[in-house]
């Protein structure tokens, strides 16, 4: 039997309940109530399910979030380690590499440059993990700036190393005459009796007595800035500019084998021993100039003499009371 929807109305005159047929409005209200109840039950069920139960997709997302949080923590730790390593490199750069070349430490304001301008981290704000991400991004940015600065510092160190190599080749570091060809160390640096004027004068070089024609060697790399002859004083002589404040003078030659402007290497023959100018016997008068001042050449024979030979040379030069020029 088909069920019919019924509603009743109280008849005040007849004092009884009377059945009233459903119209369209009644049907709409009836089904609307049922739909509302269904929606409330369904919505409540979904909310309860979401609150107390996890879907496979939710569980996957939570695992991914946990993994990313853990990895972010590990990355922050690794960034701290990288920062410590970079600190150690910077300390070595200043305390070892730069000190070797005798230069100042790399300026701190260049080594750890600041950063200004707008908020570069604005795009990372407003999320659950914003602070952790911003911390990592800040550390990465700082490391990038410090690495660039350290790279520039190392470029300077490399330039210093290149110049140091050039300087080591340029310093007058050998004797200008072979030991095997020396008759004796005629005179050293200091006050000596002049052989002609017989007065005590400062002797600004070292005299190497050897036969006429003995080869004379450039004591360091450089450029010949003077090659000339005079009839007194130094006679036929050569001056080599080595750079880095160094110059050397070779006097009383019998012959010059280089010309002005010529580049020479350490150990290259530049002339022959003689007795030209103010000289009483064949010898080489040799001087070293540092930053325009005449210094003791004995301080620079560290490339071809043993300690014993060096001590013997000093004794010979100091015992000579009279120079040859």
Which residue do the tokens 């300390």 mark?
91
Q: What is the pLDDT of residues 90-132, one digit of tens each?
A: 887 777 777 666 677 788 777 776 665 556 666 667 666 677 7
- pTM metric for this prediction: 0.53
Q: Is 40's pLDDT higher than 80?
A: yes
Contact indicator for 225, 240 with CB cutoff of 8 Å: yes
CA 30/CA 314 separation, integer angstroms: 126
What CA dihedral angle connects 209, 276, 292 and 303, to 10 degrees? -30
Per CATH, which fold does 179-319 belong to? Glucose Permease (Domain IIA) (2.70.70)
* Whether pLDDT at 317 is above 60: no
First to last CA, the chain: 149
Query: Are the CB atoms for 285 and 176 separated by under 8 Å?
Result: no
| Residue 65 pLDDT > 90 | no
| DSSP letter, residue 322 | B
Per-residue pLDDT band at 288 (split at 50, 70, 90): very high
Model pLDDT for residues 222-281, shown as the tens digit of each residue = 999 999 999 888 999 999 999 988 999 999 999 999 999 999 999 999 999 999 998 888
Do 283 and 323 contact (CB within 8 A), yes or no? Answer: no
Q: How far is Cα 293 from Cα 302, in angstroms, rounded to an integer?
A: 20
Distance of CA 127 to the CA centre of its chain: 39
């Amino acid at each position: 039997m088909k069920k019919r929807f019924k509603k009743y109305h109280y008849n005040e005159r007849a004092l009884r309940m009377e059945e009233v047929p459903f119209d369209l409005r009644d049907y709409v209200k009836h089904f609307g109530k049922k739909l509302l109840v269904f929606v409330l039950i369904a919505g409540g069920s979904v909310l309860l399910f979401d609150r107390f139960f996890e879907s496979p997709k939710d569980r996957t997302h939570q695992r991914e979030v946990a993994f990313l949080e853990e990895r972010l923590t590990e990355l922050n730790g690794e960034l701290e380690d990288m920062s410590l390593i970079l600190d150690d490199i910077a300390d070595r750069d200043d305390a070892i590499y730069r000190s070797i070349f005798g230069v100042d430490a790399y300026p701190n304001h260049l080594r750890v440059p600041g950063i200004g301008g707008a908020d570069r981290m604005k795009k990372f704000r407003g999320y659950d993990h914003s602070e952790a991400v911003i911390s990592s991004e800040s550390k990465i940015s700082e490391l990038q700036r410090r690495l660039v600065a350290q790279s520039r510092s190392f470029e300077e160190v490399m330039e210093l190393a290149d110049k140091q190599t050039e300087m080591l080749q340029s310093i007058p570091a050998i004797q200008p005459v072979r030991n095997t060809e020396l008759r004796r160390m005629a005179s050293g640096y200091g006050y000596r009796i002049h052989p002609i004027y017989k007065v005590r004068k400062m002797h600004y070089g070292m005299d190497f007595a050897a036969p006429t024609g003995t080869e004379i060697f450039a004591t360091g790399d450089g450029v010949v800035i003077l090659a000339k002859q005079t009839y007194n004083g130094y006679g036929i002589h050569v001056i080599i500019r080595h750079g880095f404040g160094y110059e050397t003078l070779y006097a009383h030659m019998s012959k010059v084998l280089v010309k002005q402007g010529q580049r020479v290497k350490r150990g290259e023959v530049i002339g022959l021993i003689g007795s030209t100018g103010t000289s009483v016997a064949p010898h080489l008068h040799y001087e070293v100039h540092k930053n325009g001042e005449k210094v003791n050449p004995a301080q620079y024979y560290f490339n071809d003499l043993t300690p014993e030979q060096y001590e013997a040379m000093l004794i010979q030069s100091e015992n000579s009371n009279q120079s040859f020029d």
